[in-house]
Structure 1
């Protein structure tokens, strides 16, 4: 009985498949930069009337990003509250989030709106509008626009805290 030998065409096709598979493995993961997001995770009214704002920054990119600065105007219940301006230099991994704590000296109208929400145990709407400057891993610095509307409610058992 005669042994079957692969023809030169079959050898050539097999080598092409192997080279194609190796090339596919060498390309690595996709590097996607997506718009980040920001939201208020917690707002705490301090004894002096100022606020401590826990701002959650979300990185939806497939690569780490360093958040160099932020300039975000805050409105509560339709009242200008003030601006969150900081240079957190916070590096957030791919598809992750982190929180930075910021101080805010709110306007009188915003203070009253928050006091009403806390006293009535009701929610209060807020909106954020501004920008964050971030540097994607191994790329140039970019500015991203932030626009968000949501609501905060009193945290049970934590006086002066909205979440």
Structure 2
């Protein structure tokens, strides 16, 4: 009888360990892959979302801000549906209306090609649902990088 009292809990713990393993989930990295100045003055941003998790995630929104140099930031917001596998990335396009100082800063490097660059900062949150979870959640992102004009392609920066 004593043996049964000891074996049953060990067997139950062993069965509990047979369940699926939970994959690690980490915040994504978000940056500008490309910026195109549209004829109407808006900027079309191709934003790269890098899923840094060991689980695929379904991304549904980005909400944040873009700051060029040390200028006043503008809002980034887009609702979408994008399934990104583990440790992979994909892109989403967001149109923004830049401020006049932002336009001037970009224009100042336009003729310099890849020799001219402009610092930017993106921050905010991405809404995503990891594959093993039932509800989406918010993941903060923060990124600093540089953009410069693409030689031979007018109004395009990377």
Residue 81 of structure 1: how far off its partner (Å): 4.3
Is the contact between residue 112 and residue 149 of structure 2 (CA under 8 Å) also seen in structure 1?
no
Matches within 5 A, 1:1-163: 31-121=23-113, 122-139=116-133, 140-163=135-158
* SS of the residue 1:106 aligns to: coil
Measure the CA separation in 2 of the matches of 1:48 and 1:72.
23
- Deviation >4 Å, runs of 4+: 26-30
Measure the CA separation in 2 of the matches of 1:30 and 1:71.
27
TM-score of the superposition, structure 2-length normalised? Answer: 0.82
Residue 150 of structure 1: how far off its partner (Å): 0.5
> Once superposed, what is the RMSD of the aligned Cα atoms?
1.6
Residue 119 of structure 1: how far off its partner (Å): 2.7
TM-score of the superposition, structure 1-length normalised? Answer: 0.80
Measure the CA separation in 2 of the matches of 1:70 and 1:116.
29
Q: How many residues in Structure 1 have an aligned counterpart in Structure 2?
A: 139
Is the contact between residue 111 and residue 149 of structure 2 (CA under 8 Å) also seen in structure 1?
no
* SS of the residue 1:79 aligns to: coil
Q: Which moved more, 1:72-81 or 1:98-107?
A: 72-81
Per-residue CA deviations over 1:96-127 (Å, capped at 9, x if unaligned) read: 00001111111111111111111333100000
Name the larger-Rg structure.
1
Partner of residue 4, structure 2:
none
